[in-house]
Amino acid sequence: MNPEILTLNRFEQVSLNPEIEIFDFLSAYAPQRINLLNNILNKTGFKGHFDGDLIVDLKMASNAGGYFDMEDTIAINPLILLTGTEEEIAHILIHESHHAGIYPNKNGKKIKIIEEVLTETLTIAMMKQIYGEVGIVSGYQDIVDILSAYVPGLTYLQIYEKISNGDENTLDNMIELIVGKSVLDSKNIIQLQWESIEAILKSQWKKISCMFPRIMNSTFNTNAGLHDESKVSFEEYISNKAQGLQKKIAARFKESQNSHLLQEILSNLNVKNQDLTIDNIIKELYAKGYGYLVNYELKYTLLEIERYIQNKKKLESIHLALNPQIYSN
């Protein structure tokens, strides 16, 4: 007998129908666990949100916890259902429920999430809300740890807000979150130059590809299978997505209220006092790799430039008042 497959030796009904409605299965094999399952369905918010079929798949590989068939069916491993703890069963159900898109966002919209790193990260966050720390480690823990290292401390809602309706928007949001947030958090104006942002993204591309293969392949129409690695290169992404990434980083710059960083950028430009005009400063911003701020947050950038020029003129006036002899000749 293949140890990876549950066969007729385990469940006599498998030859007739390997897929059994979950309560029918428990009624036949473990009626004492029906209350446990009902508790899980109530605690996880599953009841009233999922309109498809919840089944037990008797032919599921024993090392799998469950699956969503990408249409209307969630399946649970029968051995887990018969022997697992409440937390173990809930973890699997929550994970597959996020794939199925049963949990509405703040606008009431249900979104199917295909990427495992996002699904599992949301699952862990929801499990903590319901059960606290339970110490369950899934097969996706490695990529979850990578994402958590990039964006530590994100709440369930903060993660969910980045998952838009469509793989392309989700991919853009997550890459900007990883790269844009890190360069702003660094408070390093050199890292905010576009060439530096590109270099950071390129250096992290292997890890990012490992986390988001499905939405990368979907966005770029690579015809890859659901379980294939990403087939999207860094060069392909930048050639198609650079402007969108610049726009999102510029928006984060404005929203982060880090105007002091822009003032620091302006003070480090090579514009002499006698050439201190808005046009000359904008030209220098482009030359130094900050042109995306002008392109996508023009009003904000102009206000900061005007404030910089005014402050420079005030300082010059004060300096003149304190040192008139310097200018008397």
Residue 3 has pLDDT above 50, yes or no: no
Give residue 47's pLDDT. Answer: 87
- pLDDT tops 50 at residue 185: yes
pLDDT tens per residue across span 18-64: 889 999 999 999 999 999 999 999 999 998 889 899 999 998 988 89
Which amino acid makes up residue 1?
A: M
**Residue 98 neighbours by CB distance under 10 Å:** 26
Query: CA 194, CA 176: separation in Å to the nearest integer?
Result: 13
Strand partners, 53: 73
User: What SS3 state is found at 19?
Assistant: strand
DSSP H helices, the chain, are 22-29, 34-43, 78-83, 86-100, 116-131, 141-150, 156-161, 167-185, 194-203, 205-211, 213-219, 234-255, 259-267, 278-287, 291-296, 298-322, 324-328
Residue type at 249 in one-letter notation: I
CB 66 within 8 A of CB 95: yes
The pTM of this model reads: 0.85
pLDDT tens digits for 94-105?
999 999 999 887
Condensed to tens digits (0 to 9), the pLDDT of residues 214-246 reads 999 999 988 888 889 999 999 999 999 999 999
Burial class (CB in 10 A: 0-12, 13-18, 19+), 53: middle
Q: Which of 139, 16, 2 is nearest to 67 (CA)?
A: 139
The pLDDT of residue 329 is above 60: no
- Can you name the residues that pair with 104 across neighbouring β-strands? 110
Distance CA 99, CA 264 (A): 45
pLDDT band at 328 (very low <50, low <70, confident <90, very high): low
Domain ranges of the chain: 165-256, 259-328
pLDDT digits 0-9 by tens, 262-316: 999 999 998 887 788 999 999 999 999 999 999 999 999 999 999 999 988 886 6
Following DSSP, what letter does each residue of 223-246 receive, concatenated? ---TTPPP---HHHHHHHHHHHHH
Mean pLDDT of the chain: 88
Angle CA(181)–CA(187)–CA(188) in degrees, nearest 5? 105
Cα–Cα distance, 138 to 174 (Å, whole number): 22
The one-letter amino acid code at 169 reads N
Residue 131 has pLDDT above 60, yes or no: yes
Residue 275 is predicted with a pLDDT of 80
For residue 317, pLDDT over 70 is answered with no
